[in-house]
Structure 1
Amino acid sequence: MSANRQFPEGFLWGAATAAYQVEGSSTADGAGMSIWDRFAHTPGMTLNGDTGDVACDQYRRYREDAALMADLGLKAYRFSISWSRVLPQGKGASNPAGLDYYDRLADALLEKGIEPLATLYHWDLPAALDDRGGWLNPDIADWFADYAQLMYRKLDGRVKTWATLNEPWVVTDGGYLHGALAPGHRSRFEAPIASHQLLRAHGAAVKAYRAEGQHRIGIVVNLEPKYPASPAPADLAAVKRADAYMNRQYLDPIFKGSYPPELKEIFGEAWPEWPAEDYALIAQPIDWLGVNYYTRNVTRHDETKWPLKAAAVRQDQAAYTETGWEVFPQGLTDTLLWVKQRYGDLPITITENGAAFYDPPTAEGGRVQDPLRVGYLKSHLNAVLDAIEKGVKVEGYMVWSLLDNLEWSLGYSKRFGIVHVNFKTQERTPKDSARFYAEVIAANGGAPLAKGG
């Protein structure tokens, strides 16, 4: 491989986290409770009863983390804002201490030459709004737009790149269809409603930004390419359903003004009809798209799998991460090319990409060797370069994650960070993957991506 493969000039190198996963102090200083505070404190909902009460304590250690990012040469930090920290009831009176925290965080990043990228919603709905129906209540589009407007007025200018939602598919699939994530519902009827209200909220927040903001706004989706397990017609049909459900359900309404027809087949009588004005709201033009990529799915037809009638096929001779995801960098190239072909030449940032592999609870001798993660990042960065060389406008890459953190219902059992966190002492130790990433950033690609290992 050539040592001269470099990313475009000005490519934005960074790392990503989410509020509930790293901040801690989630109900401190006047903040309200979120659905994740409630879910994690419900017995049996998270592994070992783990909660985000302390997490990585970034609420108090944000300056230390900004200095750490600067030491690694990061140019950007993608964080999310806790809606209930700034609006304890989800609407109405704001919490000055919560707003001040994000004020200070943005300033601390900029002081270190790090661009703040803000995501308005990364799964932590205010519990007070969940009590009013949450993502099932059509009023939530207005609630979300009001919250978004509050944050635009506070941070726009320092924050120049905004995302409305992070991974709405996970919100709906985990939170409303299968019950594995907050708020823990399991309903074929609720899932499409939640998806639609998420998209309406996204559209309303984009519309609000056009009135208030001066920079860029978009949305972040997780995409997982689906490959047929065989050429059998049943498997090909299963791929179409799986792709419509995960990949096209959110992008088609935004870019094409309609849902994929396969969704009606998947949900049957639970699939609603929506008014034309909803589609007009959802299809507000956006300035950029965030793509989260972790793995692919080789798909076969399976009558027993509800509601998709589709199942993943584990691949022989393939490497898998601790979360059971196949390491398949070609899927990232394929995904980026697919987005360009289907939705047009929109600027894209890889807003999450990374892997959980086993790391010890403590960093012995001040070092954490994580060669599997180094290999994962190297292969996937090369996959991004392949897509760029084929004409995809990729502007930046945010590794997931900056820090080992709370992996939602899996608790602290899965470590995604390039920086090791000792959860007993909060000591941060950059892993070998962080050092590798720093080399890539310093060279803007080039030699670190070409050398073996």
Structure 2
Amino acid sequence: MVNEKKNWTRRRFALSLGAAAIAAAGCERKKPVSEARRFPSIFRWGCGSSAFQVEGALDVDGRGESIWDVFAKQNGRIKDGSIPSITCDSYHRYKEDVALMSAANLNSYKFSIAWPRVFPSGSGPVNERGIDYYDRLTDVLLQSHITPYATLFHWDLPQRLYELGGWMSRDTGERFADYAAAVTRRLGDRLKNVITLNEPNVHLLLGHVTGSHAPGLHDGNLIGPVTHHLNLAQGRAIQAMRAQRNDLTIGTGLALSPVRAEGGRIHLLNYFAALAFDGIWAGAFLDPLLKGKYPLAAHQMVADVIKPGDMSTIHQGCDFIGVNYYSPAYMRADFSGPSFLGQGKTPAGVTQDASGREIDPSGLREVLNRLTKEYGQPRLIVTENGCSDPMGDHAAIINDEFRSHYLSAHLRAVIQAMDNGSRVEGFFVWSLLDNWEWDSGFTSKFGLVAHNVNTGERTPKKSYAWFANIAETGLLSA
């Protein structure tokens, strides 16, 4: 997968190995694990969604096109050939969805605001009809005693901005700051928790290198500029929001995984390859925001696009880190490609989810403990965790005990991390509904609630009642 990164020269890989060797010097010492299974009364229990996956109504109330509108129409891009014009119709059925959250005792909801609804072409005058939807959604959530967590960018870049350069252009960051300021002016009196970017590392890799996500590009040379401009946009947006209000809680959301060597640490070259990739995958987004510099493994890739003042703009810090965790990643040294990095094989015999990813709750504990150690005990929220039904066009599995077992194991990992000193404040299940899962279309079903694509009917699954009990009591059975 990553051997398509054409700009990773031998010299840059050597620099990555040097950075990896330095990073390897500090290995975490595990603390005894408590058997406690009670969460604090102030713990945030929630679920997640994104605008493009649940709202539908793509041509309603003045919304503009996004890169995903265009990508989804291209032949062969979406596994089941489905179109996202309706998805879960949450644009019209949001009150029904909020009622489902309330009945499940959830006190938090992570959703995203569609940039093309607020600015149909990415900039210009605010589309009042579009932002009115999020005004209504915010009010209904608060009336139901559910705290809204709004993500500003969950991959649906306005198509017009992409045509003007997208994340390859510094100007997109200016437009993102304008958008963040507009949302804050309109909603900031009630919307107090904001996530700037959702999984920019995934958007970078799948959208610009492997081409499996929008905008569908295959160019390793984009890793540096896209990484830096996403970081710059985030810094500018945080500045813009804080200039508007001083009472916001602002976080960032990243897909984080332990990056492990194929074959284990005894395979030294694979071990260094894993550490080098980790510097690009996680460090290139966390370090600039929280430490004011890029890790050595990433610095050479962004050096050509950094301008004076950029790093101080990016180094804004944040109030919490959102952790989206599903599985460890495996890497190997691959001397057939220019980067010397290749995607490793998952160990034989491990339990896998419907997507073929290893199910390893200990990886979540590892990520949380690492963030605590390396970034000064930041506030943490597990903003995504969950698993899909078996992939396919069949109906959702209502008696989904496998999902309860999956979530229970990961909640135990959260407790272990908290026992080791991690400041974990919440756990959000992905997702509330079976939704349109990007290039997988409707073949993937992550919801606590089944969604019938043909009728729109919502049917709570067994895991919905199970999670509702935990959210109400804070107790996790042994």
TM-score (norm 1): 0.94
CA distance in 2, matches of 1:242, 1:63: 43
CA displacement, residues 358-384 of structure 1 (integer Å, 9 cap, x when unaligned): 288446xxx801122111100001100
CA distance in 1, matches of 2:267, 2:305: 32
Q: Which is bigger in relative contact order (C-alpha 8 A, separation at least 6)?
A: 2
Structure-1 residue corresponding to 2:281: 246
Structure-1 residue corresponding to 2:234: 202
CA distance in 2, matches of 1:110, 1:316: 47
CA distance in 2, matches of 1:217, 1:306: 38
Q: Is the 8 A contact 2:34 2:419 kept in 1?
A: no
Q: How big is the shift at 1:310? A: 2.8
Structure-1 residue corresponding to 2:467: 437
Read off the aligned partner of 1:24 and give its amino acid letter. G
Q: Is the 8 A contact 1:224 1:246 kept in 2?
A: no
Q: Equivalent residue of 1:410, what SS? A: helix
Structure 1's unaligned 5+ residue stretches are none
Q: Equivalent residue of 2:407, what SS? A: helix
CA distance in 2, matches of 1:27, 1:179: 26
Q: Is the 8 A contact 2:255 2:324 kept in 1?
A: yes
Indicate yes or no: 2:182 matched with 1:147. Answer: no
Indicate yes or no: 2:383 matched with 1:355. Answer: no
Q: Is the 8 A contact 1:27 1:85 kept in 2?
A: no
RMSD between aligned residues = 1.8
Structure-2 residue corresponding to 1:372: 402
Indicate yes or no: 2:127 matched with 1:95. Answer: yes
Q: How big is the shift at 1:246? A: 1.2
Q: Is the 8 A contact 1:46 1:408 kept in 2?
A: yes
CA distance in 1, matches of 2:89, 2:446: 17
Structure-2 residue corresponding to 1:227: 260
Give the 4+ runs in structure 1 shifted more than 6 A: none
Q: How big is the shift at 1:288? A: 1.1
Change (3 A) 1:331 1:306: farther
CA distance in 2, matches of 1:356, 1:272: 41
Q: How big is the shift at 1:306? A: 6.6
Change (3 A) 1:134 1:381: same
CA displacement, residues 108-147 of structure 1 (integer Å, 9 cap, x when unaligned): 1111111111000000000111111111111111100000
CA distance in 2, matches of 1:352, 1:375: 16
Q: How big is the shift at 1:178? A: 1.2
Q: How big is the shift at 1:2? A: 8.7
Change (3 A) 1:361 1:429: farther
Q: Is the 8 A contact 1:420 1:431 kept in 2?
A: yes
Indicate yes or no: 2:445 matched with 1:415. Answer: yes
Q: How big is the shift at 1:232? A: 2.6
Structure-2 residue corresponding to 1:282: 314
Q: How big is the shift at 1:50? A: 1.8
CA distance in 2, matches of 1:305, 1:295: 25
CA distance in 2, matches of 1:2, 1:71: 31
Q: How big is the shift at 1:300? A: 2.5
Q: How big is the shift at 1:264? A: 5.5
Structure-2 residue corresponding to 1:167: 199
Q: Is the 8 A contact 1:189 1:271 kept in 2?
A: no
Structure-2 residue corresponding to 1:109: 141
Structure-2 residue corresponding to 1:36: 68
Q: How big is the shift at 1:49? A: 2.1
Q: Equivalent residue of 1:189, what SS? A: helix
CA distance in 2, matches of 1:263, 1:216: 28
Structure-1 residue corresponding to 2:334: 302
- Worse-matched range after superposition: 426-435 or 313-322: 313-322
CA displacement, residues 394-422 of structure 1 (integer Å, 9 cap, x when unaligned): 11111101111111011111111111111
CA distance in 2, matches of 1:13, 1:81: 20
Indicate yes or no: 2:369 matched with 1:346. Answer: no
- Worse-matched range after superposition: 170-179 or 327-336: 170-179
% identity of equivalent residues? 39
Structure-2 residue corresponding to 1:24: 56
Q: Is the 8 A contact 2:331 2:344 kept in 1?
A: yes
Q: How big is the shift at 1:435? A: 1.2
Change (3 A) 1:304 1:372: farther
Q: Is the 8 A contact 1:117 1:161 kept in 2?
A: yes
Change (3 A) 1:102 1:306: farther
Structure 2's unaligned 5+ residue stretches are 1-32
Structure-1 residue corresponding to 2:222: 190
Q: How big is the shift at 1:345? A: 1.3
